[in-house]
Amino acid sequence: MSGREILDAGRAAGVVRMTGRAGGLLQSREPLRGVAELKFLSWSFNTSPLCSAFLLCAAAVAAFASPSTYVFQGAFTTDNQIEMVGITVNASEQVTIRTYAYGGGAIGSTTASAGGFAPNAILFDSAGNEIAADAGGHCAVTSVDSTTGNCDDAFIQETLEPGTYTLALAEYDNQPNDSFLADGFKQSGNPNFTCAEFGGGSLCDVTTALGPQRSGNFILAVTADRATAITNVDGAIAYLVGDVSPYTADVAPGFGDGTLSIADLILELFAVNNLPGFQPVACSDRFDAMDLFPADTSSARGGDGVLDIRDLILELFRVNNLDISRPVRATRLGVCAFGGGSSSSSESLTDATRNGRFPVRPQGALALGSPRLLGANEEAVPIYLEAREDLVRVALTFALGDQRSQLRFVPSAAAPPSIVQDHQKGAVAAAWLSGVSVRAGERLLLGYVAGPPGAVRNLEVYGLSAAGLDDNRDVRLELSAAKPEVVPDENLRVQ
């Protein structure tokens, strides 16, 4: 959706309110005959570009991220537990299935610990017929357990033709009856079958002579060679794009609540503007969830590795249900898709940091004027948008502050902002998402930042980002030094 399409949609809908809700999540349980402790996960390699109100969907991963790996994580509590993953393939695909339970190993920048149970992976076609199975022994591919010396993680690599498939993860040696999924598994009524000859309990390692007890933890990774998409995820490490509030960590599932709301929009505003304490770690899951633009499609994963005004605009329209798509992305496990590296870097790449990396001639400037008194107990600094060349319908956002004083934004009557957040102590963030226009050589008063005497003389601009609404082009702005001026009284209004 272009900036013009977004703006036109907003005008048509008269968007003013700042609330919204994402589509609900559809969680399914598939009752199959004779299967105990069954969980069913549906995963598709193709989906429509828009999600319905009851469908959790994800856009496909673009070529730069291919092959793409999706990760399912959980724990067995009994020996007869079965984990099921539904896979739909719309074209000939090479699919790799690997467990990280017994010997552990590295998945991207994430390391899975060894010590889990010995798994058995079985793949079924759409009719429920077993077409592939594996219970380990691939020491050249999977990890060796340092305690037993065995490499008992499962590894399956098959070229799958279009159709639907079911992957079952079981504990060794729980096999399907008659190699047919609907007939269940041989140990379905025996929750402690592995420890029967070792004194009782569950999750014993029957691949060794002494049968030591193992943990129930597992990680299951499914990799496809081409662009893929996820539907109806139940248990996969994935996240709703734009859903970043509340948060306790930058790694999924440490953020989000399943809905899109004003709280997500405010955090996006802060992150785009580099507000101290609110920047997600570069390449992290939370950064990726904030990197909305360009939007996800049915054939490409969204985002461009930079947080800027265009991400904020798209977040605004999803929060207000003017853009009803609700893409979900699978974790990249801390691996950067743009420019390499990993989330070990603390820098979050926003439009402000990108400007320094890719210098171009600025088209305008954000100018801070000279401080002046605003009543007996406040001072104010005027904020201007200066045009080096014609700025036509430019969306703009910035944040500034001193990290300690209670500041507030006094908007200009000529250019009221779409969003203002000045409740965070020591910071003011504002955005003009409907666009402003300024002729070359002229400037536009955006408003004033007001605070206690002395505070506004030490303001630091944390972030600044602008883009054209009509064509999503980057608009480069620089910071301009303060200069003395006379401001008409009517422009300074206490609110």
Both 214 and 283 in one domain: the answer is: no
φ, ψ for residue 85, nearest 5 deg: -130, 125
Q: What is the mean pLDDT of the chain?
A: 77
Token digits of residue 354: 């990108």
Token digits of residue 41: 């996960």
Both 76 and 203 in one domain: the answer is: yes
Predicted confidence (pLDDT) at residue 285 exceeds the cutoff of 80: yes
Predicted confidence (pLDDT) at residue 331 exceeds the cutoff of 70: yes
Both 342 and 443 in one domain: the answer is: no
Strongest mean pLDDT among 39-53, 64-78, 157-171, 332-346: 157-171
Q: Which of 199, 224, 249 is the last residue of a domain?
A: 224
What is the C-alpha separation between 125 and 160, in angstroms, rounded? Answer: 9
Which of 134, 120, 127, 118 lies closest to 183 in space, CA to CA? 127
Predicted confidence (pLDDT) at residue 69 exceeds the cutoff of 90: no
Both 71 and 219 in one domain: the answer is: yes
Both 369 and 343 in one domain: the answer is: no
Higher pLDDT, 335 or 80: 80
Residue 62 in domain: no
> How many distinct structural domains can be found in the chain?
3
Model confidence band, residue 226 (pLDDT cutoffs 50, 70, 90) = low
Model confidence band, residue 7 (pLDDT cutoffs 50, 70, 90) = very low
Both 216 and 270 in one domain: the answer is: no
Largest CA distance in the chain: 91
Which of 208, 203, 103 lies closest to 153 in space, CA to CA? 103
Both 195 and 255 in one domain: the answer is: no
What pLDDT score does 91 carry?
73
What pLDDT score does 56 carry?
23
Residue pair 381/447 in contact (Cβ under 8 Å)? The answer is no
Predicted confidence (pLDDT) at residue 332 exceeds the cutoff of 90: no
Residue pair 465/478 in contact (Cβ under 8 Å)? The answer is no
Model confidence band, residue 316 (pLDDT cutoffs 50, 70, 90) = very high
Predicted confidence (pLDDT) at residue 22 exceeds the cutoff of 80: no
Length of the chain (residues): 495
Strongest mean pLDDT among 5-9, 73-77, 488-492: 73-77
Both 250 and 123 in one domain: the answer is: no
What is the C-alpha separation between 183 and 249, in angstroms, rounded? Answer: 43
Residue 38 in domain: no
Residue 29 in domain: no
Strongest mean pLDDT among 17-26, 105-114, 250-259, 399-408: 399-408
What is the C-alpha separation between 370 and 456, in angstroms, rounded? Answer: 10
What pLDDT score does 169 carry?
92
Of 12-21, 318-327, 413-422, 476-485, minimum mean pLDDT range: 12-21
Predicted confidence (pLDDT) at residue 208 exceeds the cutoff of 80: yes
Residue percentage of the chain with pLDDT more than 70: 73
Both 477 and 438 in one domain: the answer is: yes
What is the C-alpha separation between 135 and 6, in angstroms, rounded? Answer: 52
What pLDDT score does 482 carry?
55
321 lies in which domain range? Answer: 3-22+238-357
Tens digit of each residue's pLDDT (9 = 90 or more) over 380-438: 999 999 999 999 999 999 999 999 999 999 999 999 999 999 999 999 999 999 999 99
Token digits of residue 477: 């702005």
Average pLDDT over residues 203-208: 90
What pLDDT score does 43 carry?
37
What pLDDT score does 200 carry?
83
Average pLDDT over residues 348-352: 54
Model confidence band, residue 464 (pLDDT cutoffs 50, 70, 90) = very high
What is the C-alpha separation between 194 and 211, in angstroms, rounded? Answer: 8
Model confidence band, residue 41 (pLDDT cutoffs 50, 70, 90) = very low
Q: Which of 357, 387, 404 is the last residue of a domain?
A: 357
Predicted confidence (pLDDT) at residue 300 exceeds the cutoff of 60: yes
Token digits of residue 419: 């969003």
Both 72 and 120 in one domain: the answer is: yes
Predicted confidence (pLDDT) at residue 493 exceeds the cutoff of 90: no
What pLDDT score does 59 carry?
25
Token digits of residue 47: 């989906």
Residue 55 in domain: no
Higher pLDDT, 493 or 403: 403
Q: Which of 201, 224, 247 is the last residue of a domain?
A: 224
Both 105 and 217 in one domain: the answer is: yes
Q: What is the CATH number of the domain that holds 143?
A: 2.60.120.380
Residue pair 451/393 in contact (Cβ under 8 Å)? The answer is no
Model confidence band, residue 108 (pLDDT cutoffs 50, 70, 90) = low
Predicted confidence (pLDDT) at residue 216 exceeds the cutoff of 60: yes
Of 30-44, 149-163, 240-254, 355-369, minimum mean pLDDT range: 30-44
